[in-house]
Every structure is written in structure tokens, then in C-alpha cells.
């Protein structure tokens, strides 16, 4: 691991808005009350990377709490540091493996989930690692409040198609769906948020896929 990554790992140990692994389990069921000190809804961004979506969503919705989740601490560092520097208090970051989600959030604790440009895990042998694989969706269903929505935004056409097929097979309710977001009428302030990688994709004229669905 490079010196810069080691420095960032060391720094997030002392960030008030970052929780890691075992220490975060004590917040299960009480994120709003114990960390955010309010009773506002909680929104997750899974595989948040540098936290660009998490931070920008928090700016747009100050009456909601946002938690970015990723396992790579050197990535989380960027979003967490930005939130601290800009005084964005409705943001937190959680460094865990997403498959362990149920160890950190209680039944119906989450209002909404965002999955923005995740690793598409294109090999068939890695299907179970895709964040819209049914086993992951079952976890999301547990932590989401009734009517809570899942949003997937991806440049990867294969992951988008796969997700649409899973959603259809499970009989889930689709609220919004497009395979070319920026030529659709769905674009708003939220969907206009662009990560570093999305900007690169758009420069190469790559279409962006988006689907929003819920379990009831």
C-alpha cells in the first residue's frame, strides 16, 4: 500500500463522520439518534467510492441523513474530508463489506438506497457479487422502510439489463427506468449529480442507465 493510502487510512481513524467495521455495529437501529442527533430519514449510497453522490445528495436534502458505504478507506477519505471541511453535518461514511449490511442497520431503518456506478462484476462466475443480485436485494428489503426505493445508476449496459431482468423476475415495482438517462425526461437535480467517472463516460458519449424500483 502506498504512503498516501496509508496516510488516508490513518486520518479516517480520527474523522468524526467515519465508522469502521466492529465499532459501527453499536449504531444499528440508532443512526439518526446517536450519530446525526435527529430523527430524519436515512439514505444509503452503496459502493460510494469517493462519496461524490453522498455529499451532493446531502447538500440537496439537508432534512435527510446520508451514509456512504464502501470498503476502501482511502476512497471514503475524500468524501468524509469534504463533508468535514464544508461543515456538511448530515453525512457519514461506513467502511464495511456491503454483504454484512444487516449487521449495521435495523429492520426498516433506511428510507432509500442509491447504487451509483458499482463494479459490474461482468463475469458469470461473479454474479453473486453484483449489488443487484437477489441475495443483496433481500438485504435491502429488510433495512428499507415500507415503500423505500432502490436506485441504480450505471454506465454498464450488462449490469443494467441484468438488474431489469432480476427486478422483473421478482415482480418488483418499477418507478423509473431508462437506458439513456440524459436524453430522457427523468433528469432532475438529483440525477444530474455526476461522479468523476461518470463525467469521463459522458465525454466518450457513453449512455447512462438508470432504474428505480421498490419492493412494495
Q: Please list the active-site residues.
A: 119
Segment holding 169, helix H or strand E: helix 157-170
Could you tell me the CA-to-CA distances from 49 to 23, 28, 118, 162 in Å, in that order?
Answer: 21, 22, 9, 22
Measure the CA–CA gap between 214 and 137, rounded to whole angstroms: 10
What contacts 188, CB < 8 A, 6 or more positions away?
Answer: none
What contacts 7, CB < 8 A, 6 or more positions away?
Answer: none
Amino acid at each position: 500500500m502506498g504512503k498516501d493510502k496509508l496516510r488516508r487510512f490513518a486520518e479516517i481513524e480520527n474523522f468524526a463522520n467515519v465508522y469502521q467495521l466492529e465499532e459501527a455495529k453499536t449504531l444499528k437501529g440508532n443512526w439518526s439518534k446517536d450519530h446525526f442527533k435527529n430523527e430524519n430519514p436515512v439514505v444509503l449510497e452503496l459502493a460510494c467510492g469517493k462519496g461524490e453522490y453522498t455529499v451532493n445528495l446531502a447538500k440537496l436534502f439537508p432534512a435527510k441523513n446520508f451514509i456512504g458505504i464502501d470498503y476502501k478507506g482511502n476512497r471514503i477519505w475524500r468524501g468524509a474530508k469534504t463533508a468535514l471541511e464544508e461543515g456538511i453535518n448530515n453525512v457519514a461514511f461506513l467502511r464495511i463489506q456491503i454483504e454484512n449490511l444487516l449487521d449495521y442497520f435495523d429492520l426498516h431503518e433506511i428510507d432509500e438506497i442509491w447504487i451509483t456506478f458499482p463494479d459490474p462484476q461482468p463475469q458469470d462466475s461473479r454474479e453473486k457479487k453484483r449489488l443487484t443480485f437477489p441475495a443483496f436485494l433481500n438485504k435491502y428489503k429488510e433495512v428499507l422502510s415500507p415503500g423505500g426505493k432502490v436506485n441504480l445508476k450505471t454506465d454498464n449496459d450488462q449490469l443494467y439489463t441484468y438488474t431489469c431482468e432480476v427486478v422483473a423476475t421478482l415482480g418488483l415495482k418499477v418507478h423509473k427506468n431508462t437506458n439513456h438517462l440524459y436524453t430522457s425526461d427523468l433528469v432532475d437535480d438529483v440525477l444530474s449529480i455526476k461522479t468523476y467517472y461518470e463525467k469521463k463516460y459522458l465525454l466518450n458519449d457513453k449512455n447512462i442507465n438508470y432504474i428505480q424500483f421498490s419492493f412494495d
